[in-house]
Structure 1
Amino acid sequence: MHMLCTRCELSFKKEIHFCPYCGSPLQAICSSCGRAIEHPAHFCPGCGASLDISYSQQPNTIGVSKGSITFQRMNRKPYFWYSMGASVALSLVTKFCEKMIEHTASSTAFWMGVIICVVACCIFTCFSVWLTIRRSHDLGKSAWFAVLGFIPIVSLYFFFKKGTTGFNPYGPDPLKHSV
């Protein structure tokens, strides 16, 4: 037996009464035949299958959220636009630093340009890794799969591969579960 959200159609393998994502009430569903269970029972009234009534209190998701940074799923479109926006921003910052370094006689301005460029590259790298981890989670893969994003041709996989449909271990489908 599992619990199904009546609004966003997410499935949970634990005894909870409300969806943790949208707050809607959950409906008990028989895992064998898919019939809704109206009352607490030990056997399904539709197919007679034994209903597992011992539930884990652990969540069925391993997505991590710390403050405003989340490592849950991200589909292709936001991944593409965030990646392109970050690339354009990095290009502008490095071009600014290049002009700063090029047209200065002062060693202070030179080193300031170098430091700004290095900091911008570090921020861009962290942001890119964060995006790729979220995209890996949408594909149903672990964060280690994001290492493939550093291989130029293979990184195209993250832009074009459709994410898993429905709920996966990293959270709800971002296409079905939009706020």
Structure 2
Amino acid sequence: MNWYLAVLKNYAGFSGRARRTEYWMFVLVNFVISVVLNILATWVRAFSIIDLLYALAVLIPAIAVGVRRLHDTGRTGWWLLIGLIPIIGTIILLVFLVTDGQPGDNQYGPNPKYATAVA
């Protein structure tokens, strides 16, 4: 949960790098919350609005952490747009997102793997 909150605290931080752990823990918690809200929305109509508001609230942080994750692999954040290409683009983007970050510093900053861990 700390990784999820760390992404939300860095709400619109598009610079720097994000570890695989930070990115995938955010995706996991975001997915679980979305599934719960969708299930509740099928039972109670008011949760449809809450589900929509939640999706809008995490849109910018999700894009920002995706850009920082691509920065960790040495790619520009514009590579997120390749996910708009059906099937092939999604597969390529997934490969980029699961690839280990560049060791040492790169043009986007120091390696976050060796920085202080999220407490």
State whether TM-score is above 0.5: yes
Aligned residue for 2:90, secondary structure, equals coil
Distance in 1 between residues matched to 2:28 and 2:93, nearest whole Å:
13
Work out which of the two has the higher radius of gyration on C-alpha atoms and give 1 or 2: 1
In the other structure, the counterpart of 1:114 is: 48
Distance in 1 between residues matched to 2:54 and 2:92, nearest whole Å:
25
Give every structure 1 segment of 4 or more consecutive aligned residues whose post-TM-superposition deviation is greater than 4 Å: none
Gaps of 5+ in 2: 1-8
In the other structure, the counterpart of 1:133 is: 67
TM-score computed with the length of structure 2 as normaliser: 0.71
8 Å contact 1:132–1:158 — kept in the other structure?
A: no
TM-score computed with the length of structure 1 as normaliser: 0.50
Matched, 1:154 2:88: no
Once superposed, what is the RMSD of the aligned Cα atoms?
A: 2.0
Matched, 1:90 2:34: yes
Matched, 1:143 2:81: no
Gaps of 5+ in 1: 1-67, 102-111
Of all paired residues, the percent bearing the same amino acid is 24
State the Cα distance separating 1:178 from its structure 2 match.
Answer: 2.5
Name the count of aligned residue pairs.
102
Higher strand share: 1
Higher helix share: 2
8 Å contact 1:73–1:174 — kept in the other structure?
A: yes
8 Å contact 2:38–2:48 — kept in the other structure?
A: no
